[in-house]
């Protein structure tokens, strides 16, 4: 009788161990952002995010959906590459083709979220409403810029160049510092019917109506005053700037409104 009970117990243990082993091989479903963060899950969407209409702009493995501005055939030879699950700007490699990385698709009304970090004293940006034609040599010719800046950079002392501001046109709406080298920042950009909002680590840093007289006045008083094509469109491509500093991006997702 004792041997029978022992045998049953051993079989039960083996059965439950096998069940647990099978469960571990199944991919986890991250139901909350907290769970995803705690388990270091990146470049994936939660089930609820998919239901809300979010899509990934970066799959964590390829640059599918992106190309080099005005040089699509040179994308693979550019400074932009996938490294350790991030879009990496290998800006210090002078053998690479220089240029900004832009989305294949244009966007008009949307919410964009992504994580980023810069090299020490790094400077960069993300442009919206970019018009890609040979007529415009650079992304900043047409696209307003969300400033990316590592805290040790001297531009942190210049109001129109601080992180999260609308570069060159409007200072931070609320004061906030970017996280230093090696730490991740989170950016959110919302655009709807020409009205834009920038956020850095949860803090509102810019809010403008690109169709308003006030906006046109600010542009007229800025360094873009003599650029007739700057910020004229409320629809366009999204661009990541190569400004001679290494940069990383991950968890890039967008939801069209």
Instruction: Give one DSSP letter per residue of 178-229, joined into a string.
Output: PPPTTS-EEEEEEEETTEEEEEETTEEEEEEETTSHHHHHHHHTSTTTT-TT
Instruction: Decide if 230 is inside a domain.
Output: yes
Q: What is the pLDDT of residue 39?
A: 54
pLDDT at 254: 99
249: domain CATH number? 2.60.120.560
State yes or no: pLDDT of 216 exceeds 90: yes
**Domain annotation covers residue 1:** no
pLDDT at residue number 38 = 54
Does some domain include residue 22? no
Domain with 88, as residue range(s), is: 27-256
The gap between the terminal CA atoms of the chain, to the nearest Å, is 69
pLDDT interval class at 19 (50, 70, 90)? very low
Instruction: Indicate whether 96 pLDDT > 70.
Output: yes
Residue 199 is assigned to a structural domain of this protein: yes
In a domain, 200, yes or no: yes
Residue 41 counted as domain residue:
yes
Minimal CA–CA distance to 174: which of 151, 207, 204?
204
Q: What is the pLDDT at residue 114? A: 99
Q: What integer pLDDT is reported at residue 41 of this predicted model? A: 86
Quick one: average pLDDT of 100-106?
99
Q: Tens digit of pLDDT for each residue in 122-166?
A: 999 999 999 999 999 999 999 999 999 999 999 999 999 999 999
Q: Is residue 85 part of a domain?
A: yes
Question: 13 lies in a domain?
Answer: no
Number of domains comprising the chain: 1
> Which has the higher per-residue pLDDT, 44 or 19?
44
**Model pTM score:** 0.85
**CB neighbours of residue 243 within 10 Å:** 16
């Amino acid at each position: 009788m004792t041997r029978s009970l022992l045998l049953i117990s051993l079989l039960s243990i083996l059965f439950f161990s096998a069940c647990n082993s099978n469960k571990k091989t199944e991919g986890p479903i991250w139901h909350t952002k907290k769970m995803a963060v705690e388990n270091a899950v990146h470049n994936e969407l939660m089930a609820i995010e998919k239901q809300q209409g979010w899509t990934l702009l970066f799959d964590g493995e390829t640059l599918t959906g992106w190309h080099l501005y005005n040089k699509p055939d040179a994308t693979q030879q550019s400074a932009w590459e996938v490294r350790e699950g991030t879009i990496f700007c290998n800006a210090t490699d002078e053998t690479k083709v220089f240029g900004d990385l832009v989305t294949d698709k244009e966007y008009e009304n949307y919410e964009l979220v992504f994580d980023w970090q810069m090299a020490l004293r790094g400077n960069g940006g993300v442009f919206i409403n970019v018009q890609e034609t040979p007529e415009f040599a650079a992304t900043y010719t047409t696209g307003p810029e969300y400033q990316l800046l590592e805290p040790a950079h001297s531009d942190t002392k210049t109001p129109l160049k601080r992180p999260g501001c609308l570069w060159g046109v409007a200072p931070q709406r609320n004061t906030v510092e970017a996280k230093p080298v090696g730490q991740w920042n989170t950016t959110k950009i919302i655009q709807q019917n020409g009205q834009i909002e920038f956020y850095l680590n949860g803090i509102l840093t810019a809010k403008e109506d690109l169709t308003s007289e006030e906006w046109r006045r600010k542009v007229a008083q800025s360094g873009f005053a003599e650029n007739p094509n700057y910020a004229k469109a409320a629809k366009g491509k999204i661009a990541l700037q190569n400004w001679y500093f290494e940069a990383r991006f991950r968890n890039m997702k967008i939801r069209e409104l």
